[in-house]
Structure 1
Amino acid sequence: PVSGQTYTRKYDTRVLHALSGIAQSAHKFSNDIRLLQHMKEIEEPFEKNQIGSSAMAYKRNPMRSERMAALANFVMSDAMNPAMTASTQWFERTLDDSANRRMSVAEGFLATDGILDLYLNITDGLKVYPKVIEADLLRELPFMATENIMMDAVKAGGDRQELHEAIREHSMEAARQVKEFGRPNDLVDRIASDPRFGLTREQILESMEPSRFVGRAPEQTETFFREFVDPILDANKEALNMTAEISV
């Protein structure tokens, strides 16, 4: 509303903060992909002749996600530039803002463009390995199911306090076998062979049905897509055909 030669440099701050918000979300996404790829549950695109590591030929490093994180770090830190310019500007204008804003604003947009290209390329060719996810889940599920197992045993006539201590002992020993000796998780067999629980192995496995441990996640996901994601996609149908080629 009040300006002479120049607009207030706080406008640049607002613009760069918007780009920083994109970078923050992209960085979070890249971290999750890198962690899941480390666990071999998910894998970003990998070209036929792509080199995963200059030293270890067998590796399939998440280079796209790593590059996304690097660019996101730059954009987030770049948002400080216009803030410093706006806060130190003398009266209406001094020339010490020119070089900074010409670099920070332009490079912020260029880096964000690169981030979104990487985002598009990764999601377009993302691979998911359900069998690995299932194996990881089943390895931890016995520990997660101990409360349900204990309550089933209480319903069958067991003493809760006694069963709680028994589960604690069995859990600690099963975990020790896994961590110290690399053995499979045998918690189910330990509980099934303990007469204090009065449960068969089949009954315990029934209480470990994975769908009993996801809460409202399926409904929440469906609602999120139906009410938030699908309307955006419907309003931007031309963007669904966009692709991004990335050289790694």
Structure 2
Amino acid sequence: MIPRYVRPEMARLLSDQYRYEMWTRVEVLASEAQVRLGHVPAGALEDIRRAPVPDAARVAEFEEEREHEILAFLAAFCEPIPPESARWVHWGMTSYDLVDTALGHILATATDVLLDAARRLRRVLADRAVEHWHTVCIGRTHGVHAEPTTFGHKLAGFAFAVDRGVERLRRARAEVAVGTISGSVGTYALIDPLVEEHVCAALGLGVEQAPSQVVGRDRHATLVQSIATLGACVEQIALEVRLLQRTEVGEVEEPRSAAYQGSSAMPHKRNPTRSERLCGLARLLRGHVVSVLEDVALWHERDLSHSPVERTALPDCLAVAHYQVTAAAELIAGLEVFGDRMRSAIDATRGLVYSSAVLADLQERGVERELAYRSVQAAADRTRADGIDFRSALVSSRVGAGAGAGNGAMRPERFLVHHDVILERLESLRERED
């Protein structure tokens, strides 16, 4: 994890120290179950419970000697426990009983933090969409003026995209929230399945149905793919903000502090750095998808090739996504919207953006479609070439003065007659509690 792109609440969950806290909890819970089964003395359990969580630095010292993090952790954990009780720690378990069960809890908890941030982004987008529902702007296809829409409609589309991202994350959370305490190669040879049931229930986890010593890595791949897809949705939002901030467009501006400085050389610059950063973070998230998919296929019951990938990709994805989604909510909440500039962009083409309405009106009046299309297209070409307004060009066209010039076709409201249908859907989204 890069500290620059990690929020404090996520940094704690993804730290080595928190991982050791969870390993400690798994060991204590497993010992509880073993006592209930009569395999471990009750007195040993009390000593195990009193042992503190090992310090990450102490675990690192032991790892220098053993070259095995789990054995290093167990040595540090058992250090203050009386030997007659310490011998019962980790009884019947294998390393990844500890690692994967704790990992399931950590991933589920960290995903909950990301889900909270995504729901806030969804809410901010929906609220601002309602605020600007009647702020008319130009819709662009291929980067070219198309037809009028509203800025609220743009934001509504983003809100629903984030909502789909929330649903994907919820499903992925359920997939990773599993553990396994099944022993070497997953056969429960030296450990009763009741231990697994007790530990996983206490941690709010499901149980891997047919363990191979480890939890299936397809679960992690699903989570990372869901995170990367959400990141791409945020990138779409940020890219639109970037494009609308261009000097020749100037329809929005991202929030800035009074001390903002955009360039070391050009004092006038007001660069879209916040939205650019969000786009860059989406690339990082996508980059981890392939490597995590590579982890799904392990040799036989397990190998260790997945470990370095997971140590990097899983915390990075969760930390970066949480940072990105949180920053996106702050960006949209503070975004300045220039409605007058948006309206002037509609008028900049001298009426060309109304061509589809004119075409539809001509067809309704009985003009054959090819003739109507070619006539309207020719008038549009003349508007661009001669600089006259589209209405005047239509009057002198083959279809004449009746070509929609005076019947309401040339106004933005013509394109928003069914706009409230989308608003109703948006209001339903705002009322959702999940």
Under a length normalisation based on structure 2, what TM-score does the superposition of the two structures give?
0.46
2:411 aligns with one of 190, 209, 215:
209
For residues 83-110 of structure 1, what are the alpha-carbon distances to aligned partners after superposition, in whole Å with 9 as ceiling and x for unaligned? 11112x1112212221111111011111
Under a length normalisation based on structure 1, what TM-score does the superposition of the two structures give?
0.76
- Letter of the 1:198 partner, please give it: A
2:284 is aligned with 1:74: yes
2:257 is aligned with 1:47: yes
- Letter of the 1:112 partner, please give it: A
1:139 aligns with one of 330, 342, 348:
348
C-alpha separation between the residues in 1 aligned to 2:363 and 2:283? 52
Which residue number in structure 2 is paired with residue 9 of structure 1? 217
C-alpha separation between the residues in 2 aligned to 1:229 and 1:154? 40
C-alpha separation between the residues in 2 aligned to 1:63 and 1:20? 21
1:32 aligns with one of 216, 221, 240:
240
| Change in 2 beyond 3 A, CA 1:99/1:151 | closer
Shift of 1:59: 2.5
For residues 26-74 of structure 1, what are the alpha-carbon distances to aligned partners after superposition, in whole Å with 9 as ceiling and x for unaligned? 1111111111222211222122221223343322221111101111110
C-alpha separation between the residues in 2 aligned to 1:67 and 1:76? 15
2:294 is aligned with 1:84: yes
What CA RMSD, in Å, does the superposition of the two structures yield over aligned residues?
A: 3.1
Which residue number in structure 2 is paired with residue 197 of structure 1? 400
- Check conservation: 1:26, 1:68, Cα contact below 8 A: yes
1:228-239 matches, cutoff 5 A: 228-232=429-433
Shift of 1:170: 2.9
Count residues in correspondence: 224
| Change in 2 beyond 3 A, CA 1:192/1:46 | farther
C-alpha separation between the residues in 1 aligned to 2:291 and 2:417? 44
- Letter of the 1:45 partner, please give it: P
Q: What are structure 1's unaligned runs of at least 5 residues?
A: 178-182, 236-248
- Letter of the 1:210 partner, please give it: P
For residues 160-211 of structure 1, what are the alpha-carbon distances to aligned partners after superposition, in whole Å with 9 as ceiling and x for unaligned? 987765543332122134xxxxx6x62223345679723699x538431211
C-alpha separation between the residues in 2 aligned to 1:82 and 1:127? 39
Which residue number in structure 2 is paired with residue 225 of structure 1? 426
Q: Greater CA deviation, 203-212 or 143-152? A: 143-152
Q: What are structure 2's unaligned runs of at least 5 residues?
A: 1-208
2:322 aligns with one of 113, 124, 128:
113
C-alpha separation between the residues in 1 aligned to 2:216 and 2:403? 73
C-alpha separation between the residues in 2 aligned to 1:40 and 1:49? 21
Higher helix share: 1
For residues 135-184 of structure 1, what are the alpha-carbon distances to aligned partners after superposition, in whole Å with 9 as ceiling and x for unaligned? 1112246223235446767999999987765543332122134xxxxx6x
Structure possessing the higher relative contact order (Cα contacts under 8 Å, 6 or more residues apart)? 1
| Change in 2 beyond 3 A, CA 1:78/1:158 | closer
